[in-house]
Structure 1
Amino acid sequence: MQLPLDPATALRPGHVPDALDAPDASWPTALAAPPAGALDLWLLRLPGPWLGAAALDEAPLDGEERARADSFTHPFDRAGYVAAHLTLRRILGAYLGVAPGAVELTREACPCCGGPHGRPVAPGAPSFSLARGDGLVLIGVAAAPVGVAAERLPTVHTVTEAARSLHPAEHHEVMAAPVVRRPAVHSRLRVRKRAYLKGLGAGLGRSPALDYVGNGGPDTPPWPTGWTIVDVPAGPASAAAAVRGELTVRYDVRRLSPEGLAA
């Protein structure tokens, strides 16, 4: 499903069809790298019953991924992690023209401290980002640095305190919303912020209070210079993507079927 390229338009709730209602895309076996000005988004919903019953081939995962998978105590959390990383390997393998198990995953140096936990990279592949949350897997692929984020809505009771970590103008937007709308407003701002920070490669190493990615209005700060941030239609969850530069070619969301992952 191709979405509007105007970020200001794409940010309006309900402006575009929900990506989870779009037809399933075929699992790709060969993909051309996205050109400058394009953003490819891959969306996979993992229903609880499917996660509980799926027998996934973990052979493509590397040692670090298997160790991380084994660190989860809840079987559904483990299955969700494995499914997300198998999906990432399938997608990157299609861009690289190699088998999923041949994709080499590593990390850049952290821009905040120089440690080996910066933005994930795969030699030869386009820039990419992986997010999972609320049974959702979201992968962003672009020629320029990209970040994606997804999460379930928080409860009304947790928003008041959680919103304090945002930029002051964003905090004001959350608290100015009707009480029943605050979880959705907070979650939307939070995933935009997380996507942007992941795109920077900083992640949690940069305070979420420093940058403004709110809905705009009189006297609000500008968005980060040189970045495009878009809301991603993802059903009841919140999701967003951030890419360096302008989107001038395409902005696609392609929904994948979980059955294709187990095939």
Structure 2
Amino acid sequence: MTSPHPLLLRAAPAHRVSPHDGGAAAVWLVDAVRQGPAALRLAPDVLDAQEKERAAGFRRQEDRRCYVTAHVALRVVLGDRLGTGPGGLRFVRESCPECGGPHGRPALADAPVHFSLSHCGDLALLAVAPAPVGVDIEAVPAPEVARRLGARLHPRESAELERLPAARRPAAFARVWARKEACLKGLGVGLVRGVARDYVGADPARAAAPPGWSVSDVDVPEGFAGAVAVASSTTGEG
């Protein structure tokens, strides 16, 4: 599949990411530095009032540019999938499966297309799938941050990180955190579920996943980690 618009770059998962009964997640990498100027030109005609208000609320220009670029790109991808103008898409929030609150997965109001979006620094990942999907991109943190947050992960993950040489732990932690966030976004629960509940593992060769889900690392630029999680189409909440 080719990118539907020059605004987008395709990011290939390190492994095929497929729900148990067929289909796969398509993932794109967005670079706000390279693609921001085009996105900013499209934004007035593409973003809705809520997105424009959110964009205006960022104090740092870099954060605003990444937000606008990521959301314009998401609309371009979804509009291409649905054969409609990106500015005409209407987004809603599903109910949280943990508490029932209105902060679950983002969804399209009138189309059964599943998607997820994550941005970090000047980069963003977006994913589209035939089943619930989550995507995440994380910057490799400072060693102290990796040590502190790594202790809060699933006990097996914390132990795996501790067994690594100190120089490798920050990148390994970012890999685990991206996998975990991708799962939580796919489930539609966010961090309310807790980062110690589900085991995704630190092994760079293979990601674990909650029951009914598949997880894969995504190839992203050095200094970042990316992951995508996709559910069986019959397993909406994992």
C-alpha separation in 1, matches of 2:101 and 2:32: 33
Alignment partner of 1:155 out of 117, 120, 142: 142
Percentage of pairs with the same residue: 42
Where does residue 42 of structure 2 map in the other structure?
Answer: 57
Where does residue 5 of structure 2 map in the other structure?
Answer: 27
1:8-43 Cα offsets, whole Å, 9 max, x none, are xxxxxxxxxxxxxxxx84518xxxxxx942211111
Where does residue 255 of structure 1 map in the other structure?
Answer: none
Where does residue 175 of structure 1 map in the other structure?
Answer: 162
Structure 1 residue ranges (4+ consecutive) displaced by more than 3 angstroms after TM superposition: 49-55
Alignment partner of 2:220 out of 234, 241, 252: 234
- Pair 1:95-2:81 in alignment: yes
C-alpha separation in 1, matches of 2:46 and 2:39: 16
The structural deviation recorded for 1:135 is: 1.6
Aligned letter for 2:177? R
Q: Compared with structure 1, are the counterparts of its residues 43 and 104 closer, same or farther at alpha carbon in structure 2 (3 Å cutoff)?
A: same
| Mapped contact 1:128–1:139 kept (Cα < 8 A) | yes
1:159-190 Cα offsets, whole Å, 9 max, x none, are 11011221111111112111110011100000
- Equivalent residues in 2 for 1:65-214 (5 A)? 65-122=51-108, 123-214=110-201
Q: Name which structure has the greater RCO, CA cutoff 8 Å, separation 6+.
A: 1
Q: Compared with structure 1, are the counterparts of its residues 50 and 146 closer, same or farther at alpha carbon in structure 2 (3 Å cutoff)?
A: closer
The structural deviation recorded for 1:66 is: 1.2
TM-score under structure 2 length normalisation: 0.82
| Mapped contact 1:95–1:125 kept (Cα < 8 A) | no
TM-score under structure 1 length normalisation: 0.75
The structural deviation recorded for 1:157 is: 2.2
Q: Compared with structure 1, are the counterparts of its residues 146 and 55 closer, same or farther at alpha carbon in structure 2 (3 Å cutoff)?
A: closer
Q: Compared with structure 1, are the counterparts of its residues 231 and 64 closer, same or farther at alpha carbon in structure 2 (3 Å cutoff)?
A: same
Aligned letter for 2:5? W
The structural deviation recorded for 1:46 is: 2.4
- RMSD, aligned α-carbons: 2.4
The structural deviation recorded for 1:158 is: 1.5
C-alpha separation in 2, matches of 1:127 and 1:50: 24
- Structure 2: 5+ residue stretches without partners: 7-20, 234-238
